[in-house]
Amino acid sequence: MKRYISKLRDFNELVMFEHSIFSLPFIFIAMIVAADGWFGFWLLILGVFAAVSARNFAMGLNRFADRDIDALNPRTASRPNVDGRLDASSIMIFTVVNALVFVAVAYMINPLAFALSFPILGVLGSYSYFKRFSSLAHIVLGLSLGLAPIAGVVAVSAEITPWSVMLSLGVIFWVAGFDLLYSLQDMEFDKEKGLHSIPSMYGSEATLLLSSLFHILTIIFWALFVWVAELNFFAYLAVLFSTVMLGYEHYLVRKDFTKIDRAFFTVNGYLGVVFFFLIIFDKVLL
């Protein structure tokens, strides 16, 4: 039993399950708005399984593809995919199983969700290889998480609405913006190994500027989401709160690059959760 628990911990560390906090709130925000309130326990269960399996697939493939890179980087050399705790076969089986679970859950939701499940897996999987030849990897990561609100509205109403596109665009630039900040940690390593990150190609100042621009676009698109979806006070408050949090994130990183982990995990985690609860208040109280 201890052995199995240990393996579960290794897989949890491999995919960093707690980072689901970045995508889950925006799936459920889209579902709440699409349903104009509570969307039911069945869709809640399917939504959780879809989100978790999709993310596990993406992270599993990423860790499989990055075994050689992670082994050379001091920051990542202790990950389970390179220190011997999980072998390549185990990681690939884990990845394939999660892909199958995602497709099966999409099939149970509705035909459109099932049809979209295959291209979604293609986008999620492509990120793992992009940084080897293109600095657009940051945008691809943003797109991977930005598909979450689209998936949420498709699950509820089997359509893609204009407001869900605005919400998704906001998520794309939000994620791409904080991934730019996160990748500052590996700027010198990426430069040395010829990896195509924006920090390694254009430097820290250009990266900080582009990240700021992306986060300005984030706020614009989220404000458009609130307006197009005809939401109310708490939704606008969510956009205002996000503006403050993103500003604080940039303040932390510009002040001290060693604060990047705090900016990445803590600030963005709170942003998604608070945004989610404010949308609930908006739909329940107004």
Q: For domain 2-285, give the fold.
A: Tetracycline Repressor; domain 2 (1.10.357)
For the cut 70, the answer to whether the pLDDT of residue 145 exceeds it is: yes
Q: Looking at residue 38, what is its pLDDT?
A: 86
Q: 46 or 24: which carries more pLDDT confidence?
A: 46
- Which pLDDT does position 179 carry in this prediction? 86
C-beta of residue 50 within 8 angstroms of C-beta of residue 106: yes
Alpha-carbon distance of 111 to 114, in angstroms, equals 5
For 244, other C-beta atoms within 10 Å of its C-beta total: 10
Is the pLDDT at 78 greater than 80? The verdict is no
What integer pLDDT is reported at residue 181 of this predicted model?
Answer: 87
Higher per-residue confidence, 53 vs 255: 53
CA distance 2 to 7: 9
When pLDDT is averaged across residues 251-270 and rounded to a whole number, the result is: 74
Return the pLDDT at 40: 87
pLDDT at 190 over 90: no
Asked whether 117 and 101 are in contact (CB, 8 A), the reply is no
Q: Express as a percent the part of the chain with pLDDT over 90.
A: 39
Per-residue pLDDT, averaged over 200-225, amounts to 93
Domain coordinates of the chain in residue numbers? 2-285
Binning pLDDT at 50, 70 and 90, where does residue 243 land?
Answer: very high
The pLDDT of 108-126, averaged and rounded, is 91
Residue 209: closest CA among 244, 254, 240:
254
pTM of the model: 0.89
Q: What is the pLDDT of residue 164?
A: 95
- pLDDT at residue 1, as a whole number: 65
